[in-house]
Amino acid sequence: MMIDKYKKIVIKIGSSSIINSKTKKIDTDWLKKLCKDIKKYHKDKKIIIVCSGAIALGSSLIKKNKILRRLEDKQAAASVGQIELAHQWRLHLKKHRINIAQVLITLEDSEVRRRYLNARKTINTLLNNKVIPVVNENDTVATEEIRYGDNDRLAARVAQMIDADLLILLSDVDGLYDKNPKKNKDAKKINEISVINKTIEKMANSQTSILGSGGMTTKIAAAKICMNNGCDTLITDSEKNKPLSSITKQNSSIFLANKNPSSSRKQWLLNHLHPSGFIRIDDGANQAIKNNKSLLPAGIIEVGGNFNRGDVISVYFPKKEKIAVGISAYDINEVKKIIGKKSKEIPSILGYEGRDEIIHKDDLVKIIL
């Protein structure tokens, strides 16, 4: 079977799969079947579940199916729905003698390195104890600017965090089509993708889902995160009766991981979703980065955002897209003072001895365009 060869699998379940679109309640028949399948794989694989549906469930419980628009309403709904979600998972996996743990993650937990490492340790400890983590975004506290908003990218970050080798995105679509299959009868499914280029991204933009928040665009973003990390990504709606064991090449699209994943620290950097600021560099610095050298203040022509020493920032080269990301050795106010200056001038300008480089080469990852 298609997923047999994998050892550590993150299964992301979209709202459209777990919630019955008519009753707006959990589709327990489907959940039972999924749990039966999970049991099969749980014995000799590590399984992590990322499950959406808290907001949708909560809103049907407290607002009688009205669409919630304000963030505080969604947050309140999530806190109601999340209990129900966790309860149902516990109930149905307990029948198979499987324990679950509820893990609620915020964007910061994956963006701040210390918290990221901590979340990783916790999830790995659960897995080593044969407990299945059921993960969701901590919607109740996540604010508009700093939240994932979709569980596709959250699941990809979790997959990366714990070095999973497969991410399954269970959804209401069985894969990526070259055009929107709901509108075009001749739309063709792409069964295997090894590079995400502009054409693939364009295909994704034409396909959206009804209940979930992400549609195909966030699925592609998730696949992109995983591909750099040695993790394959599979999009499928599989068979309702056997959600996992019925997955085949025909009823899915698989994004194959790059053969040479970068080191885990560099992966974390590369997949950072919200860098705190940016710097723009000149031609000399661009060459230095190409040659795997550190980034010195002399090569910087502009700085922006709001960052402190140790924060992740983006590096732009004029007229080009983002070319790298890295960890800044200085606060933005310090960078503003030493912009364009020689490294040996740093102590006299700042009044103390700092590092020679703004971003050290070990803290810098190039984006391959």
User: Which of residues 175, 181, 212, 326 is near ligand GLU by CB under 6 A?
Assistant: 212
In the bound state with ligand GLU, the residue whose beta carbon lies nearer, of 273 and 339, is 273
Dist CA 303 CA 139 (whole Å)? 32
Q: Which of 169, 288 has the CB closer to ligand GLU?
A: 169
Q: Which is nearer to ligand GLU, 151 or 328 (by Cβ)?
A: 151
Tell me: does residue 55 bind ligand GLU (CB under 6 A).
Answer: yes
Q: According to the binding rule CB under 6 A, does residue 228 interact with ligand GLU?
A: no
Q: How far is the CB of 56 from ligand GLU (least distance, A)?
A: 6
Per-residue binding letters, 15-54, with ligand GLU (x by CB under 6 A): x------------------------------------xxx
SS (H, E, C) the chain: CCCCCCCEEEEEECHHHHECCCCCCECHHHHHHHHHHHHHHHCCCEEEEEECCHHHHHHHHHCCCCCCCCHHHHHHHHHHHHHHHHHHHHHHHHCCCCCEEEEEECHHHHHCHHHHHHHHHHHHHHHHCCCEEEEEECCCCCCCCCCCCCHHHHHHHHHHHCCCCEEEEECCCCCEECCCCCCCCCCCEECEECCCCHHHHHHHHCCCCCCCCCHHHHHHHHHHHHHCCCCEEEEECCCCCCCCCCCCCCCEEEECCCCCCCCHHHHHHHCCCCCCEEEEECHHHHHHHHCCCCECHHHEEEEEECCCCCCEEEEECCCCCEEEEEECCCCHHHHHHHCCCCHHHHHHHHCCCCCCCCECHHHEEECCC
Task: Please state the closest distance from residue 151 (CB atom) to ligand GLU, in A.
Answer: 3
Q: Give least dist CB 190 to ligand GLU, A.
A: 22
Residue 18 Cβ vs ligand GLU, minimum distance, rounded to whole Å: 10
Between 139 and 237, CB nearer to ligand GLU: 139
Instruction: Pick the binder of ligand GLU from 37, 109, 137, 357 (CB under 6 A).
Output: 137
Please report, as residue ranges, which positions from 172 to 211 form the binding site for ligand GLU (by CB under 6 A). none
150 binds ligand GLU (CB under 6 A): yes
The least CB distance from residue 17 to ligand GLU, in Å, is 11
Give me the 253-292 binding string for ligand GLU, x by CB under 6 A, dash otherwise.
----------------------------------------
Q: Which is nearer to ligand GLU, 83 or 187 (CB)?
A: 83
The least distance separating ligand GLU from the CB of residue 178, rounded to whole angstroms, comes to: 24
Binding site for ligand GLU (CB under 6 A): 15, 52-56, 78, 136-137, 139, 150-151, 212-214
